Structure 1
Amino acid sequence: MSAHAADVTVDSTAREQAAAVRTGDISARELLDLHLTRIAERNPELNAVVSLDEERAREGAHAADEALAHGDEVGPLHGLPFAFKDTHAVAGWRTTFGSPLFADHVPDADELLVERVRRAGVVVMGKTNVPEFASGSHTFNPVFGTTLNPHDPTRSAGGSSGGAACALASGMVPLADGSDMGGSLRNPASFCGVVGLRPSLGRVPEWPLYNQWETTSVGGPMARNVGDLALLLSVMAGPDPRAPQALGDPGSTFAPPVRGSLAGLRVAVSPDLGGLLEVDHEVAAVVESSRSVLASLGAQVSADVPDLAEADDTFRTLRAWHLQAKLGTRLAEHRASFKRSLADNIDLGATLSGADVARAYTQRTTLSERMRLWFLDHDLLVLPVSQVPPFPADQEFPHEINGAPMKTYLDWMCAAYLITVTGCPAISVPFGTTRDGLPVGVQLVAAHGRDRFLLEAAAALEAR
C-alpha cells in the first residue's frame, strides 16, 4: 500500500475515497481489501451485507484499476465498493427480496437505478439485507435473518433499507442505495445515525415497474454525510425515456459541493404534527431541541404545521392496493411463504373497492395541493423521522409508545409515511441521541422539486 493510501480508511468520506482512487493514491483493489476486512470484522454480528462474493468483487476492482491505467474516462464513483439493496435487481447477482420464494433468484438485467450506479464505476461486492419484500421498517427475513443496529446490536437497524444503513454506519460500504415507501430510506438512517433521502416524486426514476404510474415508493441514496449523499444522488437522478414521470433536471444538478445557510429561512418545527403523532418522549425532546439550534443559525422558527388529516387513510389504502396488485397472485399460491403482517396487508388490498382507491387518489391530490400552498409561506418543515428510538431486535415492531398501544406494524411509522403521500422530498439527518446513546434523526421536508435546496439546508444543519 502506498504512503498516501494509508491516509484513506473505510471511515473516510466517499468523496475522499473516490478522489484517492482517481488520483492513484490508493488502488481500487486496496480500497476493496479495506472494506472486505471491515465486513469480516463487523458483518458476522450485524448481518448487513448478504450474498457477498469476494472473488467477483476482486475481479471488479482489478478491472477498475486497469481502466485507470489505460487512461479510460471513468465515472464519479469509480472504484468504490458497493452493495445494492436486495430488492434491486442486479444482473448476474442473487437477488432474493428477502423472500424464500426468491432465495435462488438471479436476474438477467439491471434495473435502472442499478444500471446508473454501475455505470458510475462502482465495484459490486454483494447485496444489503431487507425485510421480506421490503415490507416493514425492521430488517429480518427467513432467507438471511435479522440485521442488527451497529450502535447497539440488541436493537433494530430499521428498514426496509436496514442492511444498507447498518453497513454504512459500520464502515462496510462508503455509500448505499435504498428505496422508500413508508420511510424505508429515512427510518433506518435515523436508527443507524446516517443520512437518508426520500427524493421528490420523479427525481430518481425507476424501471421496470409493474405499474409505471405507481408513485408511493421511490428509489434514493443513503450516506454518512450530506455531501456524500449528494454525490450518489447526482448519479441516480435525471430523466430517462423509460420512466414517463421522471423530472427533467440532470443528475449533475445535485453534485457536491453542497453548502447552504439557514439564515432567513422560514422553518416550522413540530414534534407531533399538531397532535397527529404519538412520539416517544426522548425522540420528541430531540426534535424540540432543534428549535434553538435553527434559531441560532438565523432561521425564523415557528410551530406551524400543514393539515395532513387525510394522509393516514391515503397511505394505508394505496399501500394495501399496491401490495395486493404486486403480490396478490403469489400470496394465493404460496401463503405459507409470507410473514403474517405482509399477508394481512395484501389481503386488505383485496377487499378494497374502486371507490376506496379513487378516494385515496383524490385525497392525495388534495394533500399535494395543500402542501404546495403551505410551502408558499414556509421553506422547511422539521419533524421526527421515526416516532421511537431503535427498538429491541427480537420484536417485529414496537407494541406501544409512551404506553399507547400500536395496533398494527405501521402505526409507529406515521411520521415518515404521512409525508410519503405528499410527494415532497424528505431527508433524515442525525441530530441527537437517547439517554442510552441510540441515534435519533430529524426529518427535514421541502416543497416538491426542491431537492437541491433540501440538501443545502440539511448540510447547514449538519455543519452546526
Structure 2
Amino acid sequence: MSARDDLCDLTAVDLAAMIRRREVSAREVVDAHLDRIGRVNPSVNAIVTLVPERARRDAEHADAVSKRGGTVGALHGVPVAHKDLLDTAGIRTTYGSPLFARHEPDTDALIVTRMRAAGAITLGKTNVPEFGAGSQTFNPVFGPTRNPYDLTRTCGGSSGGAAVALACGMVPIADGSDTGGSLRNPAAFCNVVGLRPSPGRVPGAPGTWSPLTVGGPMARTVADAALLLSVIAGPDARHPLSIDESGAHFHFPLGRDVTGLRVAWWRGLGGVPFEPEIRRVVNESRAVFESLGCVVDEAEPDFAGIDDAFLTLRHLAFHAEYAPLARAHPELVKDTVRWEIAEAERRTSADVARALARQARLYDDVRRFFERHDYFVLPVTQVAPFDVSVPYPTVIDGTPMATYVDWMRSCWYVSFMACPAISVPGGFTADGLPVGLQIVGRHRGDWGLLQIAHAFEQATGHGKRRPPVVTSPPTGRS
C-alpha cells in the first residue's frame, strides 16, 4: 500500500488533527479515500452514489480556508458518506426504492447540515434496505451490500453500507439511524462501532414525538463515534424530544477508571433464542469487565409483553410514512413494508393504548433498574452474519422466526428501553465472523456509556482486526 492509502486507516480524530495542523491537505485525504473506494467498493457495494468532483472542490476550499488561517470546525476536511435514507441537497437520495431512483432533494437533513457545518466533506451515499425496512442491506435499485469479512454474507442493516464503508477504510466516520437496531446490528456484523444515542440527543425529523427512531454515529473507534456525536448532537427547537445540551463535551477525552462500576450481565432476555456461537463469544467478554474492576452480576429488565408493544408502534410508524406510496404503487413497494402497513391497519385503538402503556411501564422499570446497576451488557445480534441471498433468518437455534424482524429482538428490546446503547467489536466466531457486544447506559447517560465502551475497546483490541477484502484485489462483484 502507498503512504496515501495509509491515510484511509487512520482514525477520524487523528485525520482531523493532521488536517488542522496542515500536516496533510484535505485534498490528499479525499483523494486517498476516493482511491480506496475505487479499489474496494466494487467487491462490497457499500457506497452507491459517489460525488468525487464535488468532494475535490470542497477539499480545495477547505485547504484554502486553512491556508488563510480561517476558523475550522471539528471535522474540517474529513471525508464522510451519508446514509441513503438521509436527504442530501443536490445529491441523489433513493431510500433504496425504485420510486426514488433519480430523486435529488432540495435540502439537507439536519445531521448532514451539522456535519457539513463542522467542515466534513461528502463523498457520497451508503446503501440501505428499501425504506430502511429490515436488517439486511439489499434493494432493487443497487442490489446487496456484502460483508467485507466474508463476501458471501450479509453486512446487516439498515445502516449496512455505512458499516461496510467504515470497515473497509472508505470513510473514517459515517452517519446512520436506528429503530430496531440499524446502527448497532451492522456495526456488530462488520466489526465497527455503532452508537444509538438517547432519544432527542440527535434531533430527528421536525415534530417527531416517538423515541423509537434516532440518528447517530458510526465509526471504527469509540473516540471517533464520540467525535461525530459532538457535531451532530445538540438541541433543535423543531424536535419536541430534543435534549437541551450542547454536543461539544462529547469531544473530551474518554479515559476513566471504571473500577467499581456495576455491570448487569444478560440472562437470556426471557427466552429469546441465540446461536450458541453468539452466546459463547459474548459471555467470554464478562471476564474483561471483571479485569477492569467492574462488579458484574446477572440481571436484566423484565421484557414481558415488549414484542406486541414494540411491533404495534413500529407498524404505525411505517403506516404513517409509507401507506400512501404503497396504495399508489403496490408493485414497487417491498413486501415487508406492505406487511407493516397491513399490520398497522389490523391493530385497534385499544392495541395502541396497551402498547403505549407498556412503553411507559418499561421506562419506569428501567429507571429503577439503573438505580441498582450502572450498565447492562448483552449481545447485539442473535445470529452471526448469514447468507447475503437470504432476506432474513427464519430459524434461530431451532426456534422459528415468524416475521422479518423477529431475529432482531436483542436490539429492539433495547430500543424500547429509550436508553443509549452502543455496539462495540466483541470478538469473532470460530468461522472468523465478527460479533458485537451491546452495552446499554441509563437514560441520557450517553457520556458514561462512551467511556465504558472505550475502556472495553482498549482492553480487547477486537476492532483492530481489519477485513481481508481491503488487501485483496477487487472481484468486480456487486
TM more than 0.5: yes
- Distance of aligned partners of 1:45 and 1:7 in 2 relative to their CA distance in 1, 3 Å threshold: closer
Given candidates 388, 408, 426, the residue that maps to 1:413 is 408
Contact 2:5/2:33 (8 A) holds in 1: no
- Partner of 1:375, secondary structure, is helix
Given candidates 12, 15, 18, the residue that maps to 2:16 is 18
Counterpart-to-counterpart distance in 1, 2:38 and 2:222: 27
Paired position in structure 1 for 2:439: 444
Shift of 1:92: 1.0
Counterpart-to-counterpart distance in 2, 1:109 and 1:71: 30
Shift of 1:263: 1.1
Given candidates 211, 216, 232, the residue that maps to 2:228 is 232
Counterpart-to-counterpart distance in 1, 2:73 and 2:409: 38
Deviates more, 1:355-364 or 1:377-386: 355-364
Counterpart-to-counterpart distance in 1, 2:307 and 2:348: 18
Where do 5+ consecutive residues of structure 1 fail to align?
Answer: none
Paired position in structure 2 for 1:265: 261
Counterpart-to-counterpart distance in 2, 1:462 and 1:86: 29
- Partner of 2:413, secondary structure, is helix
2:339 corresponds to 1:344: yes
Paired position in structure 2 for 1:32: 30
Shift of 1:214: 2.4
Given candidates 28, 43, 46, the residue that maps to 1:45 is 43
Counterpart-to-counterpart distance in 1, 2:164 and 2:49: 16
Paired position in structure 2 for 1:282: 277
Counterparts of 1:17-416 in structure 2 under 5 Å? Answer: 17-208=15-206, 211-270=207-266, 272-273=268-269, 275-416=270-411
Contact 2:183/2:196 (8 A) holds in 1: yes
Equivalent position amino acid for 2:126 in 1: T
Shift of 1:7: 9.6
Deviates more, 1:54-63 or 1:447-456: 54-63
Equivalent position amino acid for 1:262 in 2: V
- Distance of aligned partners of 1:55 and 1:6 in 2 relative to their CA distance in 1, 3 Å threshold: closer
Deviates more, 1:338-347 or 1:320-329: 338-347
Counterpart-to-counterpart distance in 1, 2:267 and 2:101: 41
Equivalent position amino acid for 1:98 in 2: G
- Post-superposition Cα deviations, 1:91-117, rounded to whole Å, max 9, x if no partner, equal 111110000111111111111111111
- Post-superposition Cα deviations, 1:134-159, rounded to whole Å, max 9, x if no partner, equal 11000000011100001111100100
Counterpart-to-counterpart distance in 2, 1:204 and 1:53: 26
Contact 1:271/1:384 (8 A) holds in 2: no
Greater RCO (CA < 8 Å, at least 6 residues apart): 2
Equivalent pairs, count: 458
Paired position in structure 1 for 2:462: none
- Partner of 2:50, secondary structure, is coil
Contact 1:8/1:16 (8 A) holds in 2: no
Shift of 1:68: 1.0
- Partner of 2:263, secondary structure, is strand
Equivalent position amino acid for 1:109 in 2: T
Shift of 1:253: 2.0
Counterpart-to-counterpart distance in 1, 2:411 and 2:257: 25
Counterpart-to-counterpart distance in 2, 1:214 and 1:245: 8
- Post-superposition Cα deviations, 1:272-310, rounded to whole Å, max 9, x if no partner, equal 22x331011000111211221111111111111111112
- Post-superposition Cα deviations, 1:337-372, rounded to whole Å, max 9, x if no partner, equal 112122111111122222111111111000000000
Equivalent position amino acid for 1:240 in 2: D
Contact 2:267/2:300 (8 A) holds in 1: no
Counterpart-to-counterpart distance in 2, 1:155 and 1:261: 38
Counterpart-to-counterpart distance in 2, 1:445 and 1:82: 27
Deviates more, 1:58-67 or 1:432-441: 58-67
Task: Give the TM-score normalised by structure 1.
Answer: 0.97
- Partner of 1:288, secondary structure, is helix
Shift of 1:212: 1.6
Contact 1:8/1:17 (8 A) holds in 2: no
Shift of 1:254: 1.1
Task: Give the TM-score normalised by structure 2.
Answer: 0.94
- Post-superposition Cα deviations, 1:408-434, rounded to whole Å, max 9, x if no partner, equal 111110000001111011000101100
Deviates more, 1:401-410 or 1:124-133: 401-410
Counterpart-to-counterpart distance in 2, 1:256 and 1:172: 26
- Partner of 2:285, secondary structure, is helix
Question: Among the aligned pairs, what percent are the same residue?
Answer: 51
Contact 2:88/2:112 (8 A) holds in 1: yes
Equivalent position amino acid for 2:233 in 1: A
